[in-house]
A and B are shown apart, each in its own frame.
Chain A
Amino acid sequence: MSHHIIEVNDLHYTYPDGTSALSGISFRITHGESVAIVGANAAGKSTLLLHLNGFITPNIGKIRIGDFSLTKKTLPMIRRTLGMVFQDPDDQLFMPTIYDDVAFGPINLGLSKEDVHNKVLDALSSVGILHLKDRPPYRLSGGERRAAAIATVIAMSPDILVMDEPTSNLDPKSRRNLIELLKTFKHTKIIATHDLDMAVDLCERVIVMHNGKIVADGSIMEIFQNDSILFSSHLEKPLRMQGCPKCQNSFIEK
């Protein structure tokens, strides 16, 4: 299934104000992979994600999503394949009610009324908030809002899920629920995050970015054991991989 592949080739991008954000990013993510993109603030994670969906056109470099290379012409197709969950759910939930919001995408795809209705109900129950369907977004808690934002994307049946900081601003239980939820999704996943423990839970592979470059790309367990990479890219070992403060044993065998 070649259509779940993401290929990025030598991506360069400098913002109009002269800030260089990406300088030479290349990677290839294949079908069914879950990849965490980690790095310090302003390492270029968000800029990279915006490229994948065609919101930013690279200065140099090429992006291929599935069978299409990213151009103006293929943009609608690509936006359908690649579902993007934004960091702030308020940006994503712009319709009067949750139902309308989740229906927004499917309606735009031109589905029939009945199909739209089924898709919405499916998406809402898959994230466990079917009972909230008639509520306006500003009446929801942070965790519920996040789930709703994910439902809006799921309803488009994308092949690839791209998420920017999915666990930010969530209380521990909502965070755990979200992780369990994301585990059930079979999509190819790309998750930009500072929550390294969540990354360990969900991803087998990690891409470490620093100053617009890829510093490391590989197995998450190996890279998160490498102190020098973590230190130089302003990261810390995930808590569970650090020694227990009492007995000095790590929860995960080295």
Chain B
Amino acid sequence: MAKISSALFDIGYIDTLSRQNSLIHGIDTRVKVLTTLVFLITIVSFKTHEISSLFPFFIYPVFLIILADLPFSYFVRKIIIVSPFAVLIGILNPFIDQTIVLYIGKIGISGGLISFFNILLRFILTVLSALILVATSGFNNICIALEKLYVPKMLVIQLLFIYRYLFVLIKEASQMSKGRKLRTFNGKGMGIKVYASLIGHLLLRALNRAQRIHMAMLSRGFDGEIRTASNMKFDKKSFLFFILWSIVFLIMRIYNLPQIVGYFVVIILK
């Protein structure tokens, strides 16, 4: 139960972050969405054995976190929470592919291990950039931006409603769970059977609420289309943000910067 409520608090927190005023927060949300998209595509396009060339990409999230004044530790925690998914995907690689591809000193590193790290790195970069997007724009603004970017309206409305009623649903669920906990003793009544009926009730309640919301919408002239009054302005600053970062991503994608730097260092040392 404590977990459910704290999850609610956590979502509220990222929402608070998105309400700050900073250079990054002021950039048009559509631009941030597009830039994040370019970033994600670049990261995903890497082959499975690249590691060194991925590192320069951290400049993007780190840059944003610093400029937007976001708490670094919060993101670290979030990433650790979802990391099991990425670890599960990659964990078998070191066992499947055991051919040694490089030596560090005398320790042989297998291809599997490298692809495992590759998965982890790409996971951290992608999740981090997505979280930063939400923390600098706010979920609702992202939805509106998506709509302006011609994402199907149906999908956007679904997202908006999920976000709006997530809070209500979590509150109801945590209240039900509290109610059950107060009347369970020695683990009795905590079984899966009770759980099932709890979930069932939650569904019924949600259905009822959906009906009432629909009524409220109808009584204010809802005709199948949701129109919002918000304006977004696309200024020079936003345009520059998108172009510059896209160029930076492209350069980092084509050239392996750490390798080039290393090459020069070696030449200078000689």
Contacts and interface: CB of A to CB of B under 8 A. Distances in A.
A105 B144 CA distance: 18
A253 B164 CA distance: 49
A243 interface: no
Interface stretch (A7-15, A93-101, A214-222): A93-101
A198 to B, nearest CB: 22
Nearest to A134: B19
Contacts of B164: 94-96, 136-138
B229 A113 contact: yes
B216 A86 contact: yes
Interface residues of A, number: 37
A80 B212 contact: no
A224 interface: no
A132 B230 CA distance: 16
A108 B227 contact: yes
Interface string B194-232: 000000000000000100110111111111001111100
A94 B161 contact: yes
A107 B227 contact: yes
B42 interface: no
Given A79-B219, A108-B222, A90 B227 contact: no
Q: Report which residue of B165, B223, B229 has the largest number of chain A beta carbons within 10 angstroms of its beta carbon.
A: B229
A84 B220 CA distance: 9
A188 interface: no
A76 interface: yes
B220 A91 contact: no
Given A136-B15, A138-B167, A117 B215 contact: no
A91 B221 contact: no
A120 B229 CA distance: 11
A99 B231 CA distance: 13
Interface in A87-126: 88, 90-92, 94-97, 99-100, 103-105, 107-109, 113, 116-117, 120
A163 interface: no
A70 to B, nearest CB: 13
A136 B221 contact: no
Given A79-B219, A107-B229, A91 B213 contact: yes
Contact of A91 (B144, B216, B222): B216
Interface string A24-58: 00000000000000000000000000100101000
Given A86-B216, A91-B216, A94-B216, A100 B221 contact: no
Interface string B68-103: 000000000000000000000000000000000000
A91 B228 contact: no
Contact of B229 (A90, A91, A103, A136): A103
Contact of A95 (B168, B223, B228): B228
A105 B220 contact: yes
B230 A152 contact: no
A167 B242 CA distance: 50
Grouping DSSP codes into helix (H, G, I), strand (E, B) and loop, the B interface class, with mixed when no group exceeds half, is helix
Given A90-B168, A97-B140, A109 B230 contact: no
A156 interface: yes
Contacts of B217: 94, 104
A169 B219 CA distance: 23
Given A88-B212, A96-B164, A136-B140, A152 B220 contact: yes
Contact of A76 (B12, B167, B221, B226): B221
A154 B82 CA distance: 45
Contacts of A139: 12
A107 B230 CA distance: 12
Interface in B215-269: 215-223, 226-230
A92 B229 contact: no
A92 B216 contact: yes
Interface string B147-170: 000000000000011011101100
Contact of B219 (A84, A99, A100): A84
Contact of B168 (A99, A104, A108, A138): A138
Contact of B221 (A84, A105, A113, A138): A105
B143 interface: yes
Contacts of A90: 168, 209
B212 A104 contact: no
B229 A117 contact: yes
Interface in B125-147: 140, 143-144
Given A53-B219, A156-B220, A100 B230 contact: yes
Interface of A: 50, 53, 55, 76, 79-80, 82-84, 86, 88, 90-92, 94-97, 99-100, 103-105, 107-109, 113, 116-117, 120, 136-139, 152-153, 156
10 contacts: A55-B218, A83-B219, A92-B213, A94-B165, A94-B213, A96-B160, A108-B222, A137-B164, A138-B167, A138-B168
